[in-house]
Amino acid sequence: MKLGALLKAIPYKEFSGSEDVEVCGLCTDSQKVNSGELFFCYKGENFDSHDFASEAAQSGASAIICEKKLDCVIPQIIVEDGREAVAPVARAFYGYPDKKLKIVGITGTNGKTTTTYMLESIFKCAGKSAGVIGTLGIRYADKFVSPELTTPDPIFLHNILADMVKCGVEYVFMEVSAHALYFNKVDGLTFEVGIFTNCTQDHLDFFENMQDYSECKKLLFKDGRCKFAVINSDDNLGKSLISETKNSVSYGLKNPADVFAVDIEEKINGTSFVINLFDELYEMSVNIPALYNVYNAMSAASCAKILGIETAFIAKGLNSLKNVSGRLEKVARYNGAEIFVDFAHTPDGLEQSLTAMRKLCRGKLYCLFGCGGNRDKTKRPIMGEIAAKYSDFCIITSDNPRYEDPYEIITQIAEGVKACGRKYVTVTERETATEYAVKLLSPGDILLVAGKGGEYYQEIMGIKHSYNDNEVIRKIIGN
């Protein structure tokens, strides 16, 4: 593609060089530049890629998008914000694939992944070709791409969307994180439907406060990004979004809503309910326990109905989804006890999962969890207190310590447990902790292994070691 064609996608302050230069790819990492690629310069968290522009040019970059004049002989496009230029240029380079797809974006602290998988199941039951982009990876048309980020960077995202178009995908259900909105990753996309699940404490290591975090979530629904919005009326931020957002519909259980559920019956293997879907009553069931999965199901059902899917297919799709990896997933039954793995890594997520398990537990409820390193430290004692409040016994262990001392993280969590005066034990090595917890189980007990969910690694000192809670549990019990 000629550079001149890409210049039409962005406003720029100054251009030097020839528009006839051929661009064969896009890159934001100077160490990975290939010959003929367009290189983007902007200031990141730790580095300013303007400092590596010469290196990119020497590697064969055909042109550079930057925020200031650089000492390079290749064409330069000077823009106000290099990061903001990435998404629109990527869209143009890959032929605006989003225009040929119907894309649904889901944002919220919890529930994004489960909602995308519920939607995928619904649309497949309705005979539609669907793809999913999110925390567990990207999957479509019998292809799977391992997860890197919840929402991929724009270059990779539009590359994937272009391939989805080639593969005949019609609908895309993607998680849109607060970070993605903050860093302009989804700029230019128009969502058929935007879904808001909830907003509770998370990522305060990055956002200064909950106000900033909330404002980022709201960006999905600004400036006509979504043709329709599906919003949780029982969430405080959701209430304000409903009043501020055009073409919005609401779902909830506590406050008035367009979509709600009654006759809810929670069981260890799932939940059944009667949904009022825009005044149409229909019996539904999901194979994942917990009341919050009724919320996820209501949001998915609302979205599907807006997009023209018959209610019978919605019910069939929800019931066809057997589980979502690491999302309150029943992994095993051992010695008469049930073992669940859940991604719950926020205070609200842990409280919701433990509350659900508490209702279903006939014996003792055990909770094994940790907190990630180099992330929001303020939630550690809060999560410790929640675990102590709702479980009978806590096993505090390591999660992804990253560059922090695992013992220090555990100590901070333990402060919250101590405040409740509950019994607990600390076992730094996660697999050892899991084995210890499993051996405590008796008939009627439930063990919730929380924090990592479907992850296949444990990050320690910058190295991702192979680790998966499900696999470890099955090895311990001999399955």
Report the alpha-carbon distance of residue 19 to residue 41 in Å, rounded.
Answer: 19
Report the alpha-carbon distance of residue 228 to residue 225 in Å, rounded.
Answer: 9
What average pLDDT does this structure show over 116-134?
98
pLDDT digits over 22-44, tens only? 999 999 999 999 999 999 999 88
Is the distance from CB of 203 to CB of 245 less than 8 angstroms? no
DSSP letter string, 379-439 = HHHHHHHHHHHH-SEEEE--S--BTS-HHHHHHHHHHHHHHHT--EEE-SSHHHHHHHHHH
DSSP annotation of 30 reads G
Report the alpha-carbon distance of residue 460 to residue 152 in Å, rounded.
Answer: 23
Burial class from Cβ neighbours inside 10 Å (0-12, 13-18, 19+) for residue 129 reads: middle
pLDDT digits over 381-398, tens only? 999 999 999 999 999 999
pTM: 0.96
What average pLDDT does this structure show over 175-200?
97
* pLDDT above 80: residue 107: yes
One-letter amino acid for residue 416 of the chain: G
- Phi and psi for 49 in degrees, rounded to 5? -70, -10
SS3 call for 141: coil
* pLDDT above 80: residue 479: no
Outline where 219-344 has alpha helix (H): 236-244, 292-306, 311-320
pLDDT band for position 346 (cuts 50, 70, 90)? very high
pLDDT band for position 148 (cuts 50, 70, 90)? confident
- pLDDT at position 203: 87
Outline where 102-169 has alpha helix (H): 112-125, 154-166
pLDDT digits over 262-303, tens only? 999 999 999 999 999 999 999 999 999 999 999 999 999 999
Other beta carbons within 10 Å of 199:
24
Of 128, 130, 127, which is closest to residue 117 (Cα–Cα)? 130
What average pLDDT does this structure show over 126-135?
98
* pLDDT above 80: residue 335: yes
pLDDT band for position 67 (cuts 50, 70, 90)? very high
Report the alpha-carbon distance of residue 46 to residue 64 in Å, rounded.
Answer: 20
Report the alpha-carbon distance of residue 337 to residue 316 in Å, rounded.
Answer: 30
Is the distance from CB of 366 to CB of 441 less than 8 angstroms? yes
Is the distance from CB of 290 to CB of 359 less than 8 angstroms? no
pLDDT band for position 223 (cuts 50, 70, 90)? confident
Strand partners, 59: none
- pLDDT at position 208: 80
The residue whose two tokens read 């398990």 is 357
- pLDDT at position 204: 83
- pLDDT at position 221: 97
Q: Which residues contact 121 (CB under 8 A, 6 or more apart)?
A: 317, 318, 320, 321
One-letter amino acid for residue 402 of the chain: R
> What is the average pLDDT value for the chain, to the nearest integer?
96
Strand partners, 425: 395
- pLDDT at position 83: 96
Report the alpha-carbon distance of residue 273 to residue 200 in Å, rounded.
Answer: 26
Of 14, 11, 162, which is closest to residue 93 (Cα–Cα)? 162
Report the alpha-carbon distance of residue 32 to residue 192 in Å, rounded.
Answer: 34
- pLDDT at position 47: 87
What percentage of the chain reaches a pLDDT higher than 70? 100
β-strands 63-66, 463-466 pairing: unpaired
Helix axes 430-439, 469-477, angle to 10 degrees: 50
* pLDDT above 90: residue 421: no
Report the alpha-carbon distance of residue 101 to residue 130 in Å, rounded.
Answer: 10
At 140, list the tokens: 């479509």
SS3 call for 344: coil
- pLDDT at position 408: 98
Is the distance from CB of 49 to CB of 42 less than 8 angstroms? yes
What average pLDDT does this structure show over 96-123?
98
pLDDT digits over 233-244, tens only? 999 999 999 999
